[in-house]
Amino acid sequence: MTDKKNQVSRRQFLNYTLTGVGGFMGAALVAPMVGFAVDPLLKGEKDTDFVYVMDENEITNEPQRKTFKVDQVDGWYESQVDRTAWVFRDENGEILALSPVCTHLGCTVDWNSREEFSNEFFCPCHDGRYDKNGVNIADTPPTEPLHAYEYKVEDGKLYLGKAKSRKEA
């Protein structure tokens, strides 16, 4: 005598099989669409790439203002945005490329723009001051140094990457 409880009928077998195959095919169709829709959101900004800014032999001990463009990806929207750096060699001959964005509230700093604060970066919004190396001067509003761009020199050309905080440095 056979145990009918443990047997699967032909109809049940077909149901299970078709449901399984249908589910698999549905997932195979939907997964790429979900990936396409979500992918740009996961990518984030593209501005980690290094961008040519100037020739190495043009870098002096005096900060020079250099503007360059970086690609930016924001979701599905790609654009080019301007970046600015103050580029020079410090007293040790090391290249420094400083962001002009004040670390207090984000205004733009200028180099050597005030007679009374010569050889300093000055922020006109709240009288923020930084020394030549971009280090914030005590008792002025900024609480950390100007951010510095990552850089690399290849074949005599200076490339800048992302501006990073030097707070921990």
The residue (of 53 and 142) whose beta carbon lies closer to ligand FES is 142
Report which residue's Cβ sits closest to ligand FES.
128
Binding site for ligand FES (CB under 6 A): 102, 104-107, 123, 125-126, 128, 141-142
Residue 147 Cβ vs ligand FES, minimum distance, rounded to whole Å: 13
In whole angstroms, give the CA distance from residue 46 to residue 124.
Answer: 31
Q: Which long-range contacts (CB under 8 A, 24 or more apart) does 128-134 make?
A: 128/102, 128/104, 132/63, 132/88, 132/90, 133/90, 133/96, 134/86, 134/96, 134/98, 134/166
Helix (H) or strand (E) holding 35: helix 10-43
Residue 111 Cβ vs ligand FES, minimum distance, rounded to whole Å: 14
The residue (of 30 and 105) whose beta carbon lies closer to ligand FES is 105
Taking phi first (over 0 means left), then psi (-120 to 50 degrees means alpha), and beta for anything else, what does residue 16 get? alpha
Residue 108 Cβ vs ligand FES, minimum distance, rounded to whole Å: 8
The residue (of 126 and 164) whose beta carbon lies closer to ligand FES is 126
The residue (of 53 and 145) whose beta carbon lies closer to ligand FES is 145
